[in-house]
Amino acid sequence: MRIGILNSGGDCPGLNAVIHGVVGAADKLDWEVVGFIDGFEGMLPPRRIMELDINNTIGIQKLGGTILGTTNKGNFGAKVGAGNVKEVPRDIIAKAKASFDELGLEGLVIVGGDGTLTTALQLYRMGWPVVGVPKTIDNDLEATARTFGFDSAVTSVVDALDRLQTTALSHKRVLVLEVMGRHAGWIALHGGIAGGANVILLPEIPFDMDVVCDAIQKREEQDQRSTLVVVAEGALPEGGAKMFHRAGGGSEFRLGGMGDKVATEIAERTGKETRAVTLGHMQRGGSPTAFDRILGTWFGVKAVQLIEEKQFGSMVSYMRSHVGAVPIEEAVSRLRCVEPDGEEVGAARAVGICMGK
Ligand code: F6P
């Protein structure tokens, strides 16, 4: 038996742990594993693959990124923005299927976020024997309480806040940290709570600058003269819009800039010396945390089990300390966002964190 594996979309700490888990579990069954380079693109002519075995995957669960490479562009995009589904062109799928058949594959593990899993669903509906593994630092996939990569991203945010706090305290400044999170503010919320933020602004709770500045002034009156503000890149003011900028000076517009804008307004309105930092891809890079290595391994092993049981069209899912399976369809039906009135936001408010509203 031979199976394939690919990861597509943005990279994420823990991808190599999934590959390691798949290869290890497949080896026990005497199965061979073929990895496709740069996601689905590796299936297209000229085909780019890597034969994976336990010798060439030793210790990779510790490594960040992915040994297979990835892309969030290319021919297989099935989702535009937060929700609009588009069909992957039939001729592209036919070329990929030819590769799949020529390699004699009997199952394909597809590791990705919302967009990649939407492609996986289209392939499954066309009869491909696929199983999904949920990947994203954003933790915004429905039907799984956790995606691997999230814990590593949150750990980077906490590390940044720990560093920013010492300089903010010394200079009695406001430090604004912009973090990733386009539609869902999980990274900002968890990173902010764990890193001791005083203000957290999320895409799910449009903020009011008066409320933010009042919170800073109030802290000042209580002799708390430094403030840490965490802003998700997709946060927006009430009645306003998200901010975009040209990534790397290119023509493409990407989310970003709200941290700077919030910092400028705080400085203007409160007179406090304020600095802004954008954490950016620091959140996606580096070695995975122990939790992400374990979750990635567990997901990889479960994906092989699902292929063995021919549970195609399903995605591995982490719920209540258990890794099970759910239909891919359920996972991509909508994004899992922070509940503005949910328990976690409630806990943040309870310890005095201003949520901008
Ligand atoms: O979805 C993961 C993510 O890291 C988002 O949080 C972020 O907005 C986006 O990818 C960045 O994408 P790129 O690497 O293309 O700039």
Segment 234-279, tens digit of pLDDT? 999 999 999 999 887 778 888 999 999 999 999 999 999 999 999 9
- Among protein residues, the one whose CA lies closest to atom 12 of ligand 1: 10
The active-site residue, picked from 11, 114, 138, 292, is 138
Check pocket membership of 133 for ligand 1, CB cut-off 6 A. no
Q: Are 202 and 236 within 8 A, CB to CB? A: no
Beta strands in 272-352 (DSSP E): 274-278, 314-319, 322-327
Cβ partners under 8 Å of residue 163, min gap 6:
none
49: β partners: 36
Gyration radius of the chain's alpha carbons: 22
Q: Residue 246: what pLDDT? A: 87
- Among protein residues, the one whose CA lies closest to atom 14 of ligand 1: 10
With the most atoms of ligand 1 within 8 angstroms of its CB, the residue from 137, 150, 157, 180 to mutate is: 180
CA distance 63 to 51: 19
Alpha-carbon dihedral 288, 291, 293, 299, rounded to 10 degrees: -130
CA distance 123 to 89: 11
Token output for 102: 């020529």
Cα 23 to ligand 1 centroid, rounded to whole Å: 27
Name the average pLDDT for the chain: 97
Q: Under the phi-then-psi rule, with left for phi > 0, alpha for psi from -120 to 50, and beta for the rest, what region is 122?
A: alpha
Q: Residue 33: what pLDDT? A: 98
Residue 179: other Cβ atoms inside 10 A: 31
Q: Residue 82: what pLDDT? A: 61
Cα 327 to ligand 1 centroid, rounded to whole Å: 25
Check pocket membership of 255 for ligand 1, CB cut-off 6 A. yes
Segment 83-119, tens digit of pLDDT? 689 999 999 999 999 999 999 999 999 999 999 999 9
Q: Under the phi-then-psi rule, with left for phi > 0, alpha for psi from -120 to 50, and beta for the rest, what region is 320?
A: left
Cα 244 to ligand 1 centroid, rounded to whole Å: 13
Q: Residue 112: what pLDDT? A: 97
Cβ partners under 8 Å of residue 111, min gap 6:
5, 6, 7, 8, 15, 18, 132, 133, 135
Cα 223 to ligand 1 centroid, rounded to whole Å: 38
Q: Are 259 and 176 within 8 A, CB to CB? A: yes
Strand (E) or helix (H) holding 269: helix 258-270
Closest-lying ligand 1 atom to the alpha carbon of residue 140: 1
91 among known catalytic residues: no
Check pocket membership of 185 for ligand 1, CB cut-off 6 A. no
Check pocket membership of 60 for ligand 1, CB cut-off 6 A. no
Check pocket membership of 11 for ligand 1, CB cut-off 6 A. no
Check pocket membership of 179 for ligand 1, CB cut-off 6 A. no
Cβ partners under 8 Å of residue 218, min gap 6:
none
CA distance 137 to 72: 14
Cα 144 to Cα 45, 70, 97, 253, 261: the distances in Å are: 34, 23, 29, 30, 34
With the most atoms of ligand 1 within 8 angstroms of its CB, the residue from 7, 11, 70, 72 to mutate is: 72
Query: Residue 152 CA to chain centroid, in angstroms?
Result: 10
Mean pLDDT of 76-86: 82
Check pocket membership of 137 for ligand 1, CB cut-off 6 A. yes
Check pocket membership of 254 for ligand 1, CB cut-off 6 A. yes
Segment 17-35, tens digit of pLDDT? 999 999 999 999 999 999 9
